[in-house]
Amino acid sequence: MSEVTQTTPGWLAHDDLESARQRLPIVYVDAIPVRVDSRGEVVAVGLLLRAMPDGSISRAAVSGRVLYGERIRDALLRHLEKDLGPMALPDLPLSPTPFTVVEYFPEPHVSGFHDPRQHAVSLAFVVPVKGDCVPSTSALDLVWMDPHDAASDGVAAEMTGGQDRLLRLALAHVGVLP
């Protein structure tokens, strides 16, 4: 007799997610959206402006969970479309490879990357976008900045959880850190 396999969507119920966050690292993707010139050099970096749970405002990269059964490429596209809109036209390579892997911990001193909710492992990408970007309802705004301005101490002070470090790593990876 064959066993019937029950398939469920990749989302966990709120209580199940909270339980998993207490027991397992959760896989995420982080994406730094960029505009490039005709030579492929980064000329602008897009940062989201988000309201934080404590009421503060923070600049942030595109970020989100990878769902069970979801390919990394699909997770990247889903989060880029969710945060930048369906006309962002991200330019992903056929086989995306992260420029770094970041570990977020509930304790801020462990790695310099902090997420008070969980231990998360994030694959980080720099993603050129070619289309019109309109921030989602979960973001207040999307601001395009010169890479040197984006790497400034002033912008870093507006970021939380170590995302300023992630941004600087991304800019170093593409060779545009001042």
Of 67, 104, 93, 95, nearest to 82 by C-alpha is: 67
Q: Is residue 178, in this structure, part of any structural domain at all?
A: no
**Interval 88-105: pLDDT, tens:** 999 998 888 999 999 999
**What tens digit of pLDDT does each residue of 63-91 get?**
999 999 999 999 999 999 999 999 999 99
Residue 37 lies in a domain: yes
**CA-closest candidate to residue 42, choices 153, 152, 127, 135:** 127
Is residue 11 in some structural domain? no
The range of the structural domain enclosing residue 80 comes to 16-173
**Residue appearing with tokens 């050129």:** 128
Does residue 55 lie in a domain region?
yes
Q: Is 6 domain-assigned?
A: no
13-42 pLDDT tens trace: 877 767 766 778 899 999 999 999 999 999
Q: Which residues of 39-54 are buried (b: 16+ CB within 10 A; e: fewer)?
A: eeebebbbbbebeeee
**Per-residue confidence at 126, pLDDT binned at 50, 70, 90?**
very high
Alpha helices in the chain (DSSP H): 14-23, 72-84, 147-150, 153-157, 163-173
* Number of compact structural domains in the chain: 1
We report the CATH number of the domain holding residue 166 as 3.90.79.10
User: Do the domain assignments include residue 2?
Assistant: no
- pTM here is 0.86
Residue 53 domain-assigned (yes or no): yes
Tens digit of pLDDT for each residue in 155-171? 999 999 999 999 999 99
DSSP lists the bridge partners of residue 32 as 126
For position 73, what pLDDT does the model report?
96
User: How far is residue 37 from each of residues 52, 116, 123, measured CA to CA in Å?
Assistant: 33, 38, 25
CB 54 within 8 A of CB 109: no
Q: What is the mean pLDDT of residues 110-125?
A: 94
